[in-house]
Amino acid sequence: SIITVIIIAPIYEEIIFRGILLKGMSKKIKPAIAIVVSALLFGIVHMNIPQGINGFLLGLILGFIFLSSKSIHLSIFAHFINNILALSFSSLFSLIDGRYAIEIHGVFLFIGVILLIIACDGYKQNEIKNKPEIYKQFIEV
């Protein structure tokens, strides 16, 4: 079950929600609306309110990553990191018995945003500027 949540789910969920749905919708409607719709569907698929809200918020971030970087690999990696952290820290939250939960979530959100900015910046610095035509054909999902 851990392998499914950490490895398999990020791959197939990103291919479906970002690689197929978001990519297709962003060609037909405004990209911002496409991100919101795909994130909403992503949240609904999680089928419970707490995970649905988290899924929606994560879907917004992953959609932005996907459309701004034009890389499904970066959104898969971000999803992978999110799921690892969620599993790792869920036991920590149960140990503290709900005390300071809002503060801890706030700290993790802040750290996550900082790490996301660093990752996106690093990705853009390492991006190939002038891609040959053959490269463009193989990079599409």
Specify whether 46 is catalytic: yes
Residue 55's nearest CA partner among 93, 28, 20, 16 is 16
Residue 44's nearest CA partner among 25, 66, 65, 21 is 21
Dist. CA 3–CA 126, nearest whole Å: 29
Dist. CA 95–CA 92, nearest whole Å: 5
The one catalytic residue in 46, 73, 103, 133 is 46
Residue 21's nearest CA partner among 10, 7, 31 is 31
The encoded tokens of residue 100 equal 């300071």
Specify whether 13 is catalytic: yes
Neighbours of 8 (CB within 10 A): 10
User: Catalytic residue positions?
Assistant: 13, 46
